[in-house]
C-alpha cells in the first residue's frame, strides 16, 4: 500500500478502518474465503487499499441478512414517518461528512474533488432529502368495480396497496459511485425494502462509508448490506439468487443484458439503466455563447464517463467550423491533473483498462478516416490521463459514432436541416438522452417528440433533478429512476376486493 498525498487525516483514517471489510447484517466482515482485491488510485496508478473479494457464500450471507431484516418488526413495522426521519438523518450525516466523501470519491474514481463535492455528494444529499418525503406519501387507489351486487344486498369494496417489493439487489457502476448507491438505496428505504448493494470493483469506498452512515442513522442491522467483489462472481450470484426479489442495475448494456436475463429467468423484478450515445443537436440560431461551452461540458464532464455524455455533436452546416473550433479551444484549455488538486478540471480515467478501451476507439476512428481537431494523446503523467479529444470527418456509420466510448471523445458531424438532424440523432441503438440547442421554440417543439430518448434537454445538457424521471429507451434500459416513477420500481401493487 502506498501513502496517499493530498488527503485529510479523517479520510486516511476511514480508508484504514474500512480496508478489507464489508457490511453484512450490521457487522464488518471479511470474505468467507479471506480473499481480497486491490483498489487503485487512478491519478497515480498505485494500489492504496483493498476490499474483500466475495464469493457466492458471502452473497448468501448478505441475502439472508437482508431477508431477516425485511421481516424484522423493527423495520417491517416502522412507521412511514420514522422511515422518512431516518432517511433525512442519513442525508444530514452525509452533509456532515461532505469533504471526506468527496475526497474518497475523487481518490477512487479520479474525478475532480470540486466536482465530487458539488455533484456526487451534494447531489446525493439532495436526492435523499427528496426521496425521504415519498416515504410518507405512498398511496393506493379505491376502485369502483362492476360486478353484479351480491344477493344479500351488499356491495363490493376494492382498493390497491403499494407494498415493498422485498429484498433489492443493487449493482452499480464506478462513474458516479455514491450517486448510484443513493439512487437505489434511497427509494428502497423509502418504500420499506431491504438491500444488498454491490459497488463496482474500481470504486467501493463511498458505498462502504455510506454503509457506516446508514448504521449511524439508526437503520436496523441488515436493512442495507454492502458486499464487495467481482461482478462476474458477486453480481452474477446476486442476479440469479432466489432470495433477491428485485435487481436494480446500472452499468453497461452488455452486462445489463446478462443480469436482466438471469433475473427474468426466475421472474424477479428488474430495472436497468444502461449505456448511451447521446446526441447534441445545435441549430444555427442557437446562442453560441451558451451552446459552445454547453457542448464541451456535455462530453467532457466526468472525463466523458457519463451515460448521458453528449458524445455525438450534430451542428448545422453554416456554423459547423466555427462551432467545432470553439469547442476544440475549450478542450485545449482544460486543466488536466489529479482529482485531489482543486484546480483540476479533468482528472484521469477510472482505470488503465478504461483508458485502453477509449484509446482503441480513437485509433479506430483515425483508421476509419477521422481527423483529430483536439487531443488524442495520453499526457505524460503517471495516472490514467487522456486529453479531451474531438474527431471530425467521420461517417455516421463509423464505429466511434455508433458505439459508446465512455471517455472524453467527441465526434462532430454537420447537418443541413431539422429532418436530417432527427434522422442522425435517432440512428443509434441507444436512447438515453439528447439535447437540442436553438432559440426557435417552433424548432424545439417540433423536434422533441421525434427524438428517441428518455430525456431531452433544451439549451442545456446533463441536468438531472430528483423530481424528474430518468432512464432510457432502446438499448439504454428499462424503467425510470427518480421522480414519482421510481416508486413503481420498488413496490408491488396488491389489489384487494371485498364483498361487504
Ligand atoms: P459494467 O456493466 O461492467 O459494471 C457495472 C456493474 O456490474 C459493476 O458493479 C460490475 O462489477 C457489475 N458486473 C460486471 N459483470 C457482471 C456480471 N456478469 N453480472 C452481474 N454484475 C456484473 O459497467 P462499468 O462499471 O464498466 O460502467 C460503465 C458502463 O455503465 C457504461 O457503458 C455506461 O454507459 C453505463 N452506465 C449507465 C448509466 C445509466 O444511468 N444509464 C450510469 C452509469 C454507467 P465489477 O465492477 O466488479 O466488474
Q: What is the pLDDT along the chain (500 residues), one digit of tens a residue?
A: 555 888 999 999 999 999 999 999 999 999 999 999 999 999 999 999 999 999 999 999 999 999 999 999 999 999 999 999 999 999 999 999 999 999 999 999 999 999 999 999 999 999 999 999 999 999 999 999 998 888 888 899 999 999 999 999 999 999 999 999 999 999 999 999 999 999 999 999 999 999 999 999 999 999 999 999 999 999 999 999 999 999 999 999 999 999 999 999 999 999 999 999 999 999 999 999 999 999 999 999 999 999 999 999 999 999 999 999 999 999 999 999 999 999 999 999 999 999 999 999 999 999 999 999 999 999 999 999 999 999 999 999 999 999 999 999 999 999 999 999 999 999 999 999 999 999 999 999 999 999 999 999 999 999 999 999 999 999 999 999 999 999 999 999 999 999 99
Atom 14 (ligand 1): residue with closest C-alpha?
A: 231
82 Cα–ligand 1 center, Å: 33
115 Cα–ligand 1 center, Å: 22
Distance CA 159, CA 144 (A): 8
156 Cα–ligand 1 center, Å: 48
Distance CA 65, CA 127 (A): 26
236 lines ligand 1 (CB under 6 A): yes
Distance CA 377, CA 399 (A): 19
Tell me the pTM.
0.97
- Hey, is 492 helix, strand or coil? strand
Cell of 117: 463535492
Atom 13 (ligand 1): residue with closest C-alpha?
A: 231
In a mutational test of the pocket of ligand 1, which residue from 172, 232, 255 has the highest number of ligand atoms less than 8 Å from its CB?
255
In a mutational test of the pocket of ligand 1, which residue from 109, 231, 311 has the highest number of ligand atoms less than 8 Å from its CB?
231
Measuring CA to CA, how many Å separate 346 from each of 303, 334, 383? 6, 7, 12
- Hey, is 276 helix, strand or coil? coil
307 close to 274: Cβ distance less than 8 angstroms: yes
396 lines ligand 1 (CB under 6 A): no
Cell of 145: 368495480
Atom 21 (ligand 1): residue with closest C-alpha?
A: 235
**Residues 6+ away with beta carbon under 8 Å from 68:** 25, 222
228 close to 22: Cβ distance less than 8 angstroms: yes
148 close to 154: Cβ distance less than 8 angstroms: no
255 Cα–ligand 1 center, Å: 6
Amino acid at each position: 500500500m502506498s501513502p496517499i498525498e493530498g488527503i485529510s487525516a479523517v479520510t486516511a483514517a476511514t480508508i484504514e478502518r474500512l480496508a478489507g471489510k464489508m457490511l453484512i447484517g450490521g457487522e464488518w466482515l471479511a470474505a468467507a474465503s479471506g480473499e481480497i482485491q486491490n483498489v487503485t488510485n487512478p491519478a497515480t496508478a498505485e494500489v492504496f487499499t483493498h476490499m474483500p473479494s466475495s464469493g457466492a457464500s458471502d452473497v448468501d450471507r448478505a441475502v439472508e441478512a437482508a431477508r431477516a431484516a425485511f421481516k424484522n418488526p423493527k423495520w417491517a413495522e416502522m412507521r412511514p414517518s420514522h422511515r422518512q426521519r431516518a432517511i433525512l438523518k442519513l442525508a444530514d450525516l452525509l452533509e456532515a461528512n461532505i469533504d471526506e466523501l468527496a475526497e474518497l470519491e475523487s481518490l477512487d474514481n479520479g474525478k475532480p474533488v470540486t466536482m465530487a463535492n458539488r455533484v456526487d455528494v451534494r447531489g446525493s444529499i439532495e436526492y435523499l432529502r427528496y426521496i425521504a418525503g415519498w416515504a410518507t406519501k405512498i398511496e393506493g387507489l379505491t376502485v369502483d368495480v362492476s360486478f353484479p351486487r351480491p344477493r344479500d344486498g351488499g356491495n363490493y369494496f376494492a382498493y390497491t396497496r403499494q407494498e415493498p417489493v422485498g429484498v433489492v439487489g443493487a449493482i452499480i457502476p464506478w462513474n458516479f459511485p455514491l450517486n448510484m448507491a443513493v439512487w437505489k438505496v434511497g427509494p428502497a428505504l423509502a418504500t420499506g425494502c431491504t438491500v444488498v448493494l454491490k459497488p463496482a470493483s474500481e470504486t467501493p469506498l463511498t458505498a462502504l462509508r455510506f454503509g457506516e452512515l446508514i448504521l449511524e442513522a439508526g437503520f436496523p442491522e441488515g436493512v442495507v448490506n454492502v458486499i464487495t467483489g467481482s461482478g462476474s462472481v458477486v453480481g452474477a450470484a446476486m442476479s440469479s439468487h432466489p432470495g433477491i426479489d428485485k435487481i436494480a442495475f446500472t452499468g453497461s448494456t452488455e452486462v445489463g443484458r446478462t443480469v436482466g436475463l438471469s433475473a427474468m429467468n426466475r421472474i424477479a423484478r428488474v430495472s436497468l439503466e444502461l449505456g448511451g450515445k447521446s446526441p447534441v443537436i445545435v441549430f444555427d440560431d442557437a446562442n453560441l455563447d451558451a451552446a459552445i461551452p454547453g457542448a464541451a461540458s456535455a462530453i467532457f464532464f466526468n472525463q466523458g464517463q457519463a451515460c448521458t455524455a453528449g458524445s455525438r455533436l450534430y451542428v448545422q452546416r453554416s456554423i459547423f467550423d466555427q462551432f467545432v473550433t470553439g469547442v476544440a479551444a475549450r478542450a485545449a484549455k482544460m486543466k488536466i491533473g489529479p482529482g485531489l488538486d482543486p484546480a483540476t478540471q479533468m482528472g484521469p480515467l477510472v482505470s488503465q483498462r478504461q483508458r485502453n478501451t477509449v484509446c482503441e476507439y480513437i485509433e479506430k476512428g483515425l483508421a476509419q478516416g477521422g481527423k483529430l481537431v483536439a487531443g488524442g494523446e495520453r499526457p505524460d503523467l503517471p495516472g490514467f490521463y487522456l486529453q479531451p479529444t474531438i474527431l471530425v470527418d467521420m461517417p455516421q456509420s463509423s464505429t466511434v459514432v455508433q458505439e459508446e466510448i465512455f471517455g472524453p471523445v467527441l465526434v462532430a458531424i454537420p447537418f443541413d436541416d431539422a429532418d436530417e438532424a432527427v434522422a442522425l440523432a435517432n440512428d443509434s441503438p441507444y436512447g438515453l438522452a439528447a439535447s437540442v440547442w436553438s432559440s426557435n421554440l417552433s424548432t424545439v417543439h417540433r423536434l422533441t417528440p421525434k427524438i428517441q430518448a428518455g430525456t431531452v434537454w433544451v439549451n442545456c445538457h446533463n441536468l438531472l433533478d430528483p423530481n424528474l424521471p430518468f432512464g432510457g429507451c432502446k438499448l439504454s434500459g428499462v424503467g425510470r429512476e427518480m421522480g414519482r416513477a421510481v416508486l413503481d420500481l420498488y413496490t408491488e401493487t396488491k389489489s384487494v376486493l371485498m364483498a361487504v
